[in-house]
């Protein structure tokens, strides 16, 4: 499962974002809300279900919308110089090890300073917050590198393998592969054995940009002055209201509204039962959604997974004629796969044994056999033929 981390300074609304994203709509029956521990949960990306284009009905989507789970980690608030031990220090930077990408939650309202202390709305420039997190992460990685640098150089000389290989072994737990290290080497033309401190810091920054891409989102947009929102939008930063999304999720759970997460609006089911405060609150959220095309929370998760991580959705089936599994369930599963993945990659995702016994695949839409190295496309429905069950 793809895992995203939520990072940012204290009081930026990060925990609200986490709760809003992981509070599953009761109608998403296939993937019930799962809490792994206090700061781990399951969120969802949404995509049009393949059953729509086929003109058939499946039991795994909501009104033609398929929800696919992704892991979500709520990393406790970070402050400038966390890599030096300020605030809660590196223990929370270490939580980022598990993430494929990081959503940087920023207080778009400008109502909190660089350490998360409340100040007047619009007082603090949120663009400053966007700059500090990449620096903290870079210096955190540089600290790891610096601590092991002499040992790495000795290993490379003693065992006659490249410094890149030694570095890849050290950083494997961060998802930094030898291929990524080699790519950065080629881009920067850095001779690591002779690199200066400044060069190594830049090298670490580029490694993280590839291995742990960072995506800022301006939260509390419903409270933000127009000037602050404009500054963030000029940087291409999407806006969101986690509090608005959470309110909609709770209202849906209580049967007050009809809302599918990620929709641009909602419908009030029993307007006569609403209190004055509820009517006012929902009207404000509706107005905000009209401006932003939604609350921004599901949209941000979708953007990171599908655009940032370049994922596609593929549906494995066992019966290519009925688009079903052995039990007759239509399109029971949907997997996120990296664009460019092949049927053999999908076979291993379904089960290691099936991948090891892979023979060929069938494009269920076209009823045609495809090769193991055929690049999959978004929305493909694939039958895997294997010597193993």
Instruction: Count the Cβ atoms, other than its own, within 10 Å of residue 312.
Output: 19
Least confident of 9-23, 128-142, 163-177, 233-247: 163-177
**Distance separating alpha carbons of residues 251 and 257, to the nearest angstrom:** 6
pTM: 0.89
The CATH number of 3-133+214-305 is which of 3.20.190.10, 3.40.50.300, 1.10.3720.10, 3.40.50.2300? Answer: 3.40.50.300
| Helical (H) or strand (E) element with 257 | strand 257-258
CA dihedral (57, 59, 64, 70) positive or negative: negative
- Reported as a single tens digit per residue, the pLDDT across 180-234 is 988 998 888 877 777 788 989 999 999 999 999 999 999 999 999 999 999 999 9
Q: Give the pLDDT score at 290.
A: 94
**Distance separating alpha carbons of residues 293 and 290, to the nearest angstrom:** 5
**Distance separating alpha carbons of residues 145 and 8, to the nearest angstrom:** 24
The set of residues, in sequence order, having a beta carbon less than 8 Å from that of 377 and lying 6+ positions away, is: 312
- Reported as a single tens digit per residue, the pLDDT across 320-373 is 999 999 999 999 999 999 999 999 999 999 999 999 999 999 999 999 999 889
- Residue 82 tokens, joined: 């966390």
Phi and psi dihedrals of 89, rounded to 5?
Answer: 65, -150
DSSP 8-state secondary structure symbol assigned to residue 25:
-
CATH number of 311-386: 3.10.20.30
- Reported as a single tens digit per residue, the pLDDT across 146-192 is 888 888 777 766 665 677 788 888 888 888 888 998 899 888 887 77
**Distance separating alpha carbons of residues 257 and 234, to the nearest angstrom:** 34
Percentage with pLDDT > 90 across the chain: 63
Closest to 231 (Cα-Cα) out of 108, 104, 105: 108
The domains of the chain are located at 3-133+214-305, 311-386
Residue 30 confidence (pLDDT) above 70: no
The set of residues, in sequence order, having a beta carbon less than 8 Å from that of 196 and lying 6+ positions away, is: none
SS3 339: coil
Q: How far is CA 54 from CA 228, 322, 365, 382, in A?
A: 45, 11, 9, 14
- Residue 75 tokens, joined: 């990393």
**Distance separating alpha carbons of residues 141 and 207, to the nearest angstrom:** 9
Q: Rounded to 5, what percent of the chain is helix, strand, coil?
A: 45, 20, 40
């Amino acid at each position: 499962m793809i895992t995203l981390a939520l990072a940012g300074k204290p009081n930026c609304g990060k925990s609200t974002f986490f709760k809003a994203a992981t509070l599953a709509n009761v109608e998403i029956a296939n993937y019930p809300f799962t809490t792994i521990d206090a700061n781990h949960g399951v969120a969802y990306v949404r995509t049009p279900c393949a059953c729509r284009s086929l003109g058939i009905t499946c039991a795994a989507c909501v009104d033609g919308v398929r929800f696919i789970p992704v892991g979500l980690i709520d990393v406790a608030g970070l402050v400038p110089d966390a890599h030096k031990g300020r605030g809660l220090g590196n223990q929370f930077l270490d939580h980022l090890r598990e993430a494929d990408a990081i959503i940087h939650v920023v207080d778009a309202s400008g109502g909190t300073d660089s350490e998360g202390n409340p100040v007047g709305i619009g007082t603090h420039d949120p663009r400053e917050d966007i700059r500090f997190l990449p620096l903290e992460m870079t210096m955190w990685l540089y600290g790891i590198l610096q601590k092991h640098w002499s040992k790495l150089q000795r290993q490379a000389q003693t065992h006659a393998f490249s410094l890149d290989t030694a570095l890849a072994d050290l950083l494997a737990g961060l998802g930094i592969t030898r291929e990524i290290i080699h790519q950065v080497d080629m881009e920067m033309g850095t001779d690591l054995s002779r690199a200066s401190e400044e060069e190594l810091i830049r090298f670490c920054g580029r490694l993280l940009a590839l291995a742990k891409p960072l995506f800022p989102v301006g939260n509390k947009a419903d409270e933000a002055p127009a000037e602050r929102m404009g500054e963030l939008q000029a940087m291409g930063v999407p806006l969101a209201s986690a509090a608005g999304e959470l309110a909609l999720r709770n209202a849906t759970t209580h049967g007050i509204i009809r809302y599918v997460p990620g929709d641009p609006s909602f419908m009030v089911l029993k307007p006569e039962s609403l209190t004055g405060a509820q009517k006012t609150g929902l009207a404000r959220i509706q107005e905000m959604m009209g401006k932003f095309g939604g609350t921004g929370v599901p949209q941000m998760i979708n953007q990171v997974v599908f655009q940032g991580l370049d994922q596609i959705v593929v549906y494995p089936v066992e019966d290519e004629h009925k688009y079903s599994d052995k039990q007759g369930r239509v399109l029971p599963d949907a997997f996120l796969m990296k664009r460019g993945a092949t049927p053999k990659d999908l076979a291993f995702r379904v089960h290691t044994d099936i991948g090891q016994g892979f023979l060929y695949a069938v494009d269920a839409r076209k009823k045609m056999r495809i090769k193991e190295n055929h690049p999959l496309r978004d929305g493909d429905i694939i039958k895997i033929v294997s010597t193993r069950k």
